């Protein structure tokens, strides 16, 4: 990949003038922009995503923030991501020993070549409310930002491995698993503690190591997976009136993941993660996505919110 100084300079010069595009718009032009911004916010898109997916009306990011802040068209800042405060987490003091062997430690992962680390998957278990007995096994692909989620029957290691086996058990997808899922960095949760069984589920062969584990209490080492949990929570929110993780079935999970992976990401010129994943892995990507029941959803055809709610 090459960077041209002239292109970088052009982008820098366009930033100040971009904020003034559309000043003085009224009537049909303003109504069209308000419709685009309102529908994007209702879907949970960020200002950057709204602007990238609708270049025709010429909406700068500053307009999205300003109109939402002023309450134009029944919009509000509460509808913008990262405009809402979060209660600080309480962390228990003291550390604990890791569950994995030294050959799968984060130090061993850090010693891998940079291109291998940057092409890795990140994996963890998303736990719901206190009364939930199930969880979602989530994976995040660093290069393409693809997010996968497999429901588990319980919050145990055997259930998590069975969830991961949904892909491997699908007709025609067994070989694809070994080619698509290379190095995987996961956390130290009890749901993924059986490293031998996890290695087998990921298609590990003799002489190689596929799953690696983060250090204890270091979820930031797989920050991509952690930062993309909100994409799931946009459609399966926590809290009173939210969605219990015990409720969604395979169809609901496939719908949520199809929606999340059809939205444009900030990588690869705002290419949707599902499209980038298909371009990277071809037929193997199609086999994995078919095994999970996932398909592209149009930007202007959002999946209904709350579809997985009880």
pLDDT (tens digit per residue) in 7-27: 667 666 665 555 555 555 666
Domains annotated for the chain, with CATH where assigned, are: 5-79 (no CATH), 103-291 (3.30.420.10)
Residue 98 banded pLDDT, cuts 50, 70, 90: low
Does pLDDT of 254 surpass 60?
yes
How much of the chain, in percent, has pLDDT values that exceed 70?
A: 74
Instruction: Please state whether beta strands 135-141 and 147-151 pair in parallel, antiparallel, or not at all (unpaired).
Output: antiparallel
Averaged over 230-249, what is the pLDDT? 70
pLDDT of residue 174: 58
State the Cα–Cα distance between residues 47 and 49, nearest whole angstrom. Answer: 5
Beta-bridge mates of residue 148: 139
Higher-pLDDT residue of 176 and 123 is 123
Residue 183, pLDDT score: 93
- What's this model's pTM, rounded to 2 decimal places? 0.75
Could you tell me the pLDDT band of residue 123, with boundaries at 50, 70 and 90? very high
Least confident of 110-119, 189-198, 244-253, 298-307: 298-307
More confident residue, 70 or 273: 273
The pLDDT value recorded for residue 309 is 33
Is the confidence at residue 308, as pLDDT, over 50?
no
Q: CA of 137: how far to CAs of 111, 224, 293, in Å?
A: 26, 15, 16
Q: What value does the mean pLDDT take over residues 69-95?
A: 64
Q: Which range among 103-112, 242-251, 291-300 shows the weakest confidence by mean pLDDT?
A: 242-251
Q: What is the pLDDT of residue 305?
A: 39
pLDDT at 276 (0 to 100): 93
- pLDDT of residue 223 exceeding 70, the answer is yes
The pLDDT of residue 288: 86
CA atoms of 116 and 280, how far apart (whole Å): 15
pLDDT at 101: 85
Higher-confidence position of 12 and 94: 12
């Amino acid at each position: 990949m090459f960077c041209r100084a002239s292109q970088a300079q052009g982008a820098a010069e366009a930033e100040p003038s971009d904020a003034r595009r559309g000043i003085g718009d009224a009537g049909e032009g303003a109504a069209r922009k308000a419709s685009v911004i309102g529908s994007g916010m209702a879907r949970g898109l960020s200002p950057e995503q709204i602007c990238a997916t609708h270049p025709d009306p010429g909406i700068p990011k500053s307009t999205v923030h300003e109109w939402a802040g002023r309450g134009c068209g029944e919009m509000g800042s509460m509808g913008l991501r990262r405009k809402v405060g979060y209660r600080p987490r309480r962390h228990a003091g003291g550390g604990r020993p890791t569950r994995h062997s030294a050959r799968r430690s984060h130090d061993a992962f850090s010693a891998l070549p940079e291109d291998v680390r940057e092409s890795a998957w990140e994996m963890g278990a998303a736990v719901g409310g206190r009364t939930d007995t199930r969880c979602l096994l989530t994976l995040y692909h660093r290069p393409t930002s693809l997010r996968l989620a497999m429901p588990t029957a319980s919050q145990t290691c055997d259930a998590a491995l069975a969830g991961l086996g949904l892909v491997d058990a699908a007709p025609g997808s067994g070989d694809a698993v070994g080619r698509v899922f290379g190095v995987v960095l996961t956390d130290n949760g009890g749901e993924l503690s059986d490293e031998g069984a996890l290695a087998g589920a990921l298609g590990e062969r003799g002489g190689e190591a596929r799953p690696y584990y983060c250090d204890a209490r270091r979820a930031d080492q797989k920050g991509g997976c952690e930062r993309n949990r909100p994409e799931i929570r946009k459609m399966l929110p926590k809290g009173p009136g939210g969605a219990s993780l015990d409720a969604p079935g395979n169809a609901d999970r496939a719908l949520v993941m199809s929606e999340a992976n059809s939205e444009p990401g900030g990588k690869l010129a705002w290419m949707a993660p599902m499209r980038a994943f298909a371009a990277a892995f071809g037929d193997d990507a199609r086999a994995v996505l078919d095994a999970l029941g996932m398909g592209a959803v149009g930007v202007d055809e959002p999946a209904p919110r709350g579809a997985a709610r009880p």
